[in-house]
Amino acid sequence: MSQHLKCQQCGAADAHTFHQWTFATLRELALVTEQQLCTACARSHRQQLRQTPSTQTGLTRDELIAQLDQFFTTSGVFDICRRCHEQGTGCCPPTCRILQAPGQSNGCQSGKTLYCATFLCSALLNAISECDVELGRLLKWLKTEVGVTEWRVYEMFTRVPLEHREPERPLILPESYPLLPTLEGQLLRHQLMSLADEVLALRRQQEAT
């Protein structure tokens, strides 16, 4: 348990496990650095990292979220998500923007987490893969390797009780993400929307079991 760890820098007995992710290239596993630090040393180390000039090139967090949001809008993914929520089988958290009418606040003033921005249920991911295998692989990689970096942030936004949160904490969020290939949502839309009823039926079956 994290309360028995000692800080690697000062030796304090109340250390926690902190993770730092670095992405090299698209579709490769992230480099994860793990350290045991107390709160004070973690704060000091985080400040040092933020003051270090960046040498990485790629997408910023906001740029990545914007590209994914645009793709999910133009491809019809958000339309299927909306219909899934309307039938009572939606799995997006309350912070998801698609749950709100345009112009309304969803109660999350900090914006969308990267975990939420990359999340797709298995039924929808399989439908996308049926339309475009390589695109499906890319979206699965984004979900499992990139979105997970903000799982702890997602837990805080959705107010998961402290005792149920993952013990590992992010030391600092990645400063750069790999550039994505061009995501042509319009090219996918017709075929994906033809599978919408099948996706929604599968979600009803999953909810019933």
Question: How is residue 196 written in tokens?
Answer: 């919408």
Distance between CA atoms of residues 22 and 17, nearest Å: 17
Question: How is residue 171 written in tokens?
Answer: 């030391």
pLDDT given at position 103:
40
Tell me how far apart the terminal alpha carbons of the chain are, to the nearest angstrom: 34
Please give, one letter per residue, the 3-state secondary structure of the chain: CHHHECCCCCCCCCEEEEEEEECCCCCCCCEEEEEEECHHHHHHHHHHHHHCCCCCCCECHHHHHHHHHHHHHHHCHHHHHHHHHHCCCCCCCCCCHHHCCCCCCCCCCCCCCHHHHHCCCHHHHHHHHHHCHHHHHHHHHHHHHHHHHHHHHHHHHCCCCHHHCCCCEEEECCCCECCCCCCCHHHHHHHHHHCHHHHHHHHHHHHHC
Contact in structure between 156 and 132 (CB atoms under 8 Å)? no
Contact in structure between 191 and 78 (CB atoms under 8 Å)? no
pLDDT given at position 179:
93
Can you give the residue ranges of every domain in the chain? 2-208
Contact in structure between 99 and 46 (CB atoms under 8 Å)? no
Distance between CA atoms of residues 144 and 191, nearest Å: 25
Q: What is the pTM of this model?
A: 0.84
Average pLDDT, consecutive stretches of 10 residues, N- to C-terminus, the chain (209 residues): 78 93 86 95 94 82 92 94 90 60 44 84 96 97 92 83 88 91 95 98 92
